[in-house]
Structure 1
């Protein structure tokens, strides 16, 4: 085999024992999980805003961002549920480029997966301890989530992973909301099949165990736009797209129909300023239809301290994305308050 085994990584239980959660963090996590669950179960009318950097590439910048978010949260918490994006591993279309803090705790140094799993666990704990906000991350590697499954309040399965069997089956054993993105093709049936699989019980191989899951009733849709055969972005956030998804949900026996609209990626063609306009249109569609008001639970926004993005090479600006471009803080603050007024 052309594979070199470098070293065996610690078991998740051992890492958790080395970096445990305090009673206060455990209590806060349980409270946040209840609040978020109630939105997806239709018991709460709060609007979810999953917001933060494309990738958590710098611990201090990320923590400063979430502290600012927590200050805003105090002003909008009666209307919104803010969930910071703390994305610690990144899918790469060609396999090249920065793969996230899991791989490289420092973007300037060589990959170190042992230091990476320690760094991302510590960072998620620091977020909760410092701000009281529990976060969202992407389930890029299903087996790796065991290092974080006690700290996350939301997980997303990306457009390139949503058709993967291991992702679907692992999602069926989670006790928090998991959002299934439509694939890059934009095919909604693939996404809905994934939701159906995640809401069902399964028996499968997981981390060397014969595992059985009970199904996750909080699995739901994330619309992120698609790309046609010519490479042109095709958005799916418009009123007609949301009504079509509502119709497709109605054709299936799925629990807690819900959608989060990702206003970046192929919905904005990565024109990050468009996220402001797209969010406004989603809120308008939601206010226009009682059915959509129930279906559309929130939006997902990419935002950081500084707007835009920058190359990873050379001297970098603190708080500016090294992956996809993001809204800056001034626009972020304004947008959150605008959402709170209209949601």
Structure 2
């Protein structure tokens, strides 16, 4: 007897519907999500001459440490109110090139047990508590089915280098109710991200799951604030003035708004967190010299610098290495000074 080619898929457990989770853990009065999204839009569209600063851990693995960081960043952000729009990097999913820990939503116990239902609840609780700091929140959307559980709390979204060519993620960007940045590919290819932006600003109809858990036909009306994030790649960095200028020219050539956000980490720092201040210094010089197409900067930062393989040291990343919060304050001081110089 011939064995079946594929074993029947195993169901490990059931998830609440997104409607159920949103009902149990609703947005709190005073969070101001719509106002935060509008503030980000104004910066991206050039109506506000501040620079977007998306700052925080590579991926949240310890909500307690994440909240301590969020409160510290929120307290410091008052000094940059007129120059920077500081957004907390509150990423709950971690894309992997092959395998590894996939983030708090997918594995909250950090042990491979994959309790996604608990991860969704913990993740939403973290976002609610983080929003209490008054900072806008940023999130990367990796698994499209997760987005309805969390998107109502996010003011700035990102589609990563590993998924930017994916049609479901481009459709998702079209549907998401906040500005979304799309990163260049892992190899550094900017063209695929430009194509993704062109797709994300268009209308899409696609299959999905409604808040009641039923399969549904969904519509993405098109995301007018879809934009390019330069993050470097295996081919090299792309944060220098020439690379930024070339990226803006590519956007102009296809009729897209000339605006880029630059990620100081990942390929642009060679995954060495100690290089991030140098990257930001270069970007600050471009801003001070009048570059207005450079609308934002991303920095990976946590309570303490570096990284670790397992969660033994409090406030240290278990994914990409991060700057410590005090160093991050110095970096943002440099960026804010550049914005003031550009005005002058």
TM range (shorter): over 0.9
CA RMSD of aligned residues (A): 1.3
By how many angstroms is 1:248 displaced?
0.7
Asked if 1:77 corresponds to 2:75, the answer is: no
Name the residue aligned to 1:309: 307
Answer yes or no: is 1:43 the counterpart of 2:47: yes
Q: Deviations over 1:69-98 (max 9, x none)?
A: 011111111111111111111011112x21
> 3-state SS of the aligned residue for 2:74?
helix
1:173-322 matched pairs, under 5 angstroms: 173-207=175-209, 208-228=215-235, 234-254=236-256, 256-288=257-289, 290=290, 292-293=291-292, 295-312=293-310, 316-322=312-318
Q: Is the 8 A contact 1:49 1:299 kept in 2?
A: yes
1:231 corresponding residue in structure 2: none
Aligned-pair distance for 1:264? 0.7
CA–CA distance in structure 1, aligned partners of residues 221 and 22 of structure 2: 24
The answer to whether the 8 Å contact 1:58/1:106 transfers is no
Matches within 5 A, 1:3-152: 3-25=9-31, 28-95=32-99, 97-108=100-111, 110-129=113-132, 131-152=133-154
1:228-272 per-position Cα deviation (integer Å, ceiling 9, x unaligned): 4xxxxx001111101101111111122x43211001101111111
Q: Specify the SS of the correspondent of 2:175.
A: coil
The whole-number CA distance in structure 1 between the counterparts of 2:74 and 2:249 is 37
- TM (norm. structure 2) is 0.92
- SS of 1:300's partner is strand
SS of the counterpart of 1:148? helix
Q: 1:109 to 1:162 in 2, by over 3 A?
A: closer
- Contiguous gaps of at least 5 residues in structure 2: 1-5, 210-214, 340-344
Structure 1 unaligned runs (5+)?
Answer: 229-233
Equivalenced residues, count: 328
- Of 317, 322, 329, 2:325 maps to 329
TM-score by length of 1: 0.93
Runs of 4+ in 1 over 4 A off after TM superposition: none
